[in-house]
Amino acid sequence: MVTLRPLAVDDAPALTRIYSGASIRHTTGKPLTLDQAHEKIRTGLARAAETPRAQWSWGILHEDDLIGLISLRRRTQVMGTLSYILREDTWGHGYATHAANQVVSAAFTTAGLTRLEAMHHPDNPASGRVLIKAGFTRVGTSDRHDDDGVAIPYELYALETDGI
């Protein structure tokens, strides 16, 4: 069973395992240090206390094991973005889809959004399959620049409340 919960201070070691190995190949490409994990948690907790709230972050748990992180960010009054990362040894079990479905529901109810967007690296088609299973539709590409300034055409997806 997959559940979501807010991050806690003692989740930092688990975050360093999540942000390592193949899991980061299509993100920053750099492992998260323990200090960076603590800072990520502190930032998430601070953002959770803001009013109006612009960001929600949840740990993805399988049973009692923290296996990933999923975030919802408000970009405008009605539009938000979804992002997620899973520890590589948990890929292929539907955990990301299950978590994404929960966050989509929260985005359109609790957060009051009417549109969500998400994107994935072009070399990570599994992430696109997660988004499609969660109700998103591919709408094009959006360039993101790597550390060397090279533009990479990320696959862009969208979901609107009338699409659920």
Query: What is the SS3 assignment for 2-18?
Result: EEEEECCHHHHHHHHHH
Q: How many residues does the chain have?
A: 164
Q: Which residues contact 42 (CB under 8 A, 6 or more apart)?
A: 9
Question: d(Cα 53, Cα 141) in Å, to the nearest integer?
Answer: 28
pLDDT tier at 28 (50, 70, 90 boundaries)?
low
Q: 84-117, pLDDT tens digit by residue?
A: 999 999 999 999 999 999 999 999 998 999 999 9
| Cα–Cα–Cα angle for 71, 83, 18, rounded to 5 degrees | 80
Quickly count: other Cβ atoms within 10 Å of residue 89's Cβ. 12
State the average pLDDT for the chain. 93
Percent of the chain topping pLDDT 90: 80
Q: 38 — phi, psi (to 5°)? A: -60, -45
- Kindly state the tokens that stand for 105: 């529901």
pTM of this structure: 0.93
pLDDT tens sequence across 41-92: 999 999 989 988 899 999 999 999 999 999 999 999 999 999 999 999 999 9
What is residue 30's predicted lDDT score, i.e. its pLDDT?
Answer: 84
Single out the residue of 55, 35, 59 nearest to residue 44, CA to CA.
55
DSSP 48-103: HT-SS--EEEEEEEETTEEEEEEEEEE-SSSEEEEEEEE-GGGTTSSHHHHHHHHH
